[in-house]
Structure 1
Amino acid sequence: MTVHPLAQPLSRAAKPQLTGGRAIGVLLLHGFSGSPASMRPWGSYLADRGYAVEVPLLPGHGTRWQDLNGVRWTDWYAEAEQALDRLLTSCDAVVVGALSMGGSVALRLAQERHDDVAGLVLVNPFVSSSRPELRALPVLKRVVPSLKGITNDIKKPGQDEVGYPRLPLKGLSQVTEMWKPVVRDLPRVTQPLLYFRSTEDHVIDDSSSRTVLGAVSSRDAQERMLTNSFHVATLDHEAEIIYAESADFVARVTT
């Protein structure tokens, strides 16, 4: 399958001369049915400041929507773990950043690879939902392969996260399967946490914020509200705020 150029993985080496002599890495994880395109400007910003960056293409993404109906959430986790390991071969410390469903994967990394994750930056993470339609998903996924897509919920004109036009339901059911261990183990998350949440989000509701911030054990947990961005805030009007504050956060938690 051909992968859109902007949906391809992004890797950048560390520049310790810009970070006080230490090699610091950042792993960025995109959302469900999206692609690395949603994280590429953020990754480039961090790379320009000397951080090593990995933005992997999670399995089932970047090709055709049908491919997402053939993967399991553990495939996304395995890809993210491999990217984390690549950074750890050359970096002194690694911070994980994520958008939407990538937030669940990032939290799982923090739970399972505790000593290898120095901090978390989450942007509108998708960890739970109070929407009643999800209750029908176990039945609906058996009779309907997909629904209308949810990509490009972006207030700023001219932006494109290079996602799928359809929402694959078997793939979505894997997202909800991932929630079970992730939510159960949220108290195991003790790393510093920077949490960005859009006040207007047409993809997820605010239950994820309550779920995460109400259960993690992080003593250093900060929530930042974004008032001029929709769900894909990494490409929206306040993207530069995310980039700048995350760079400061990475510097602070890896010293």
Structure 2
Amino acid sequence: MEEYPVLDGAQPIYFEGNEVGILVSHGFTGTTQSVRPLVEAYGKEGYSVACPRLKGHGTAPEDMETTTAQDWMDSVEEAYAWLKERCSKVFVVGLSMGGTLALHLAAKYEDIAGVIPINAAIDIPSMENIIETTDDRYIAAIGSDIKKEGVTELAYDKTPVASIEHLILMMTRVHDELAKIHCPILIFVSEEDHIVPPENSEMIFNTVLSEHKELIHLENSYHVATLDIDLDIITERSLEFFVMYSNTK
């Protein structure tokens, strides 16, 4: 199997800090670069942070094409295990498909202290249409849906159709798992998103069984909100969330 070098800026990011751990996951075809501002903000506050490079990401589309949804789940599982070895509490945060993965972990592990999905993907009809209508191996890139001028996401310049099939399988699985989520949840949704329909976040909010749940609308960001104009809102509100729920049993 061909080995692909990791793109500069796509490397995993780990901070070993206090006993509160935060797992942060990037999204589909993206890299850790897209969530680095959050990771660094959390690390600066003293938290232990794990931000893995999802398998097949941050290298080449041909590499991603050979990976599966299970591979991506395994990537966040490994990061979660790293935090569990060091921390008494763990929160999970994710952008786009990273939010989907965060929800999967929150459904699987009852001891997760809280989950923060950001424009998480549960149902993308346009993706299903692609599978049904194209015979191509790749479609156009989906990265860099950002409102802020001069900001670019480090993501693939084309999208493997085989990977879209795995994304759909994972979204379906996690959609069915939502009612298993009982931990506190803070959901961020961009009001204008050209990749994931904002209705996804409404669906998540309405389906999880969390006693403490909140949906925050981002008025000045597109899909990659972690690199966009509303980054400060995401940072501030998520840090408040960690403080609030890291002190509960």
**TM-score when scaled to structure 2?**
0.94
Structure 2 counterpart of 1:111, from 103, 107, 112:
107
Give the Å deviation of 1:139. 6.1
In structure 2, how many angstroms separate the alpha carbons of the residues matched to 1:146 and 1:68?
Answer: 11
SS of the residue corresponding to residue 70 of structure 1 reads coil
Query: Contact conserved, 1:144 with 1:169, CA < 8 A, in 2?
Result: yes
Give the Å deviation of 1:244. 1.2
Structure 1 counterpart of 2:218, from 204, 226, 234:
226
Q: Which runs of structure 2 are paired with 1:166-245 in the superposition (5 Å)?
A: 166-245=158-237
Change (3 A) 1:136 1:235: closer
Deviations 1:183-202 (A, max 9, x none): 11211001100011101111
Greater mean deviation of Cα atoms: 208-217 or 99-108? 208-217
Q: Which runs of structure 2 are paired with 1:72-83 in the superposition (5 Å)?
A: 72-83=68-79
Deviations 1:165-198 (A, max 9, x none): 1111110110100122211121100110001110
Give the Å deviation of 1:138. 5.0
Give the Å deviation of 1:5. 2.5
Name the residue aligned to 1:154. 146
In structure 2, how many angstroms separate the alpha carbons of the residues matched to 1:3 and 1:130?
Answer: 31
In structure 1, how many angstroms separate the alpha carbons of the residues matched to 2:216 and 2:177?
Answer: 23
Name the residue aligned to 2:246. 254
Name the residue aligned to 1:134. 128
In structure 1, how many angstroms separate the alpha carbons of the residues matched to 2:217 and 2:80?
Answer: 28
Count of matched residue positions in the alignment of Structure 1 and Structure 2: 244
Q: Which runs of structure 2 are paired with 1:36-47 in the superposition (5 Å)?
A: 36-47=32-43
Give the Å deviation of 1:33. 0.3
Query: Contact conserved, 1:129 with 1:207, CA < 8 A, in 2?
Result: no
Amino acid at match of 2:234: I
Structure 1 residue 59 corresponds to structure 2 residue 55: yes
Give the Å deviation of 1:136. 4.6
In structure 2, how many angstroms separate the alpha carbons of the residues matched to 1:130 and 1:149?
Answer: 17
Structure 1 residue 87 corresponds to structure 2 residue 83: yes
In structure 2, how many angstroms separate the alpha carbons of the residues matched to 1:213 and 1:82?
Answer: 27
Amino acid at match of 1:169: V
Gaps in structure 1 of 5+ consecutive residues: 17-22
SS of the residue corresponding to residue 185 of structure 1 reads helix
Runs of 4+ in 1 over 3 A off after TM superposition: none
Deviations 1:24-46 (A, max 9, x none): 11000000000000111110001
Residue identity (%): 32
In structure 2, how many angstroms separate the alpha carbons of the residues matched to 1:114 and 1:57?
Answer: 24
In structure 1, how many angstroms separate the alpha carbons of the residues matched to 2:125 and 2:58?
Answer: 28
Give the Å deviation of 1:209. 1.6
Deviations 1:44-76 (A, max 9, x none): 001000111111000110011122211110111
Query: Contact conserved, 2:188 with 2:201, CA < 8 A, in 1?
Result: no
